[in-house]
Structure 1
Amino acid sequence: MRVGEKVVDHERFRGPGEGTVDILAVHESTGGLLSTVWIFPAEQPIEVLDRGRLAGGASLHA
């Protein structure tokens, strides 16, 4: 999802162990260059049902 100069992204990482880690990343650009990144770990796995919609009916779109 993009809002102005910010992009929100869901990432799923698989580490050396058995599990995966879900995060939300917010990327901000200034003058066309990446300037800031905020990382928010998910408290539980993020289940994406389809493009733009999360489990429980929440929407990724404003």
Structure 2
Amino acid sequence: MTDNTAPVQRQLDAYNAKDLAAFISCYHSDIAIYRMPATEPAIKGREALAAFYKTERFSIATLRAEVLQRMVVGNKVIDHEKVYGMAEQPYEVVVVYEVQDGLITNAWFYPMG
């Protein structure tokens, strides 16, 4: 039984450390990121993911996320997260990470409220 939470936790730790190389290494080269309710990926591929997080996320000094609750169902890891630094007030999001062979292959972001 593989620990599907391992790459999800590693990417969260790297996100909070703003360690782009460590963050990207948790994702499959064909990663697809969805911002629901979109049916097409907002970001496709590891290079696009790196470019986006380098300029749009890791440049924010106060950026960090904490997991309020985590659930694992098969190869899906579902995190209820609170994100700081993106807006005046922290906001909550549910993220479903799909893990295969120790890498995140898809992620669906569901904004709360």
Q: How does the TM-score come out when normalised to structure 1?
A: 0.61
Partners in 2 of 1:34 and 1:16 — Cα distance? Answer: 23
Gaps of 5+ in 2: 1-70
Among the aligned pairs, what percent are the same residue?
Answer: 37
The structure with higher relative contact order (CA 8 Å, sep 6+) is: 2
Counterpart amino acid of 1:13? V
Larger strand fraction of residues: 1
How big is each residue's C-alpha offset from its partner over 1:27-61, in whole Å with a ceiling of 9 and x where there is no partner?
A: 00112211111000001xxxxxxxxxxxxxxxxxx
Gaps of 5+ in 1: 44-62
Counterpart amino acid of 1:15? G
CA RMSD across the alignment? 1.4
C-alpha deviation, 1:15, in angstroms: 2.0
Give the 5 Å matches for 1:1-62: 1-15=71-85, 17-43=87-113
Q: Which residue does the alignment assign to 1:50?
A: none
C-alpha deviation, 1:23, in angstroms: 0.1
Q: How does the TM-score come out when normalised to structure 2?
A: 0.35
Aligned length: 43
Higher deviation after alignment, 21-30 or 9-18: 9-18
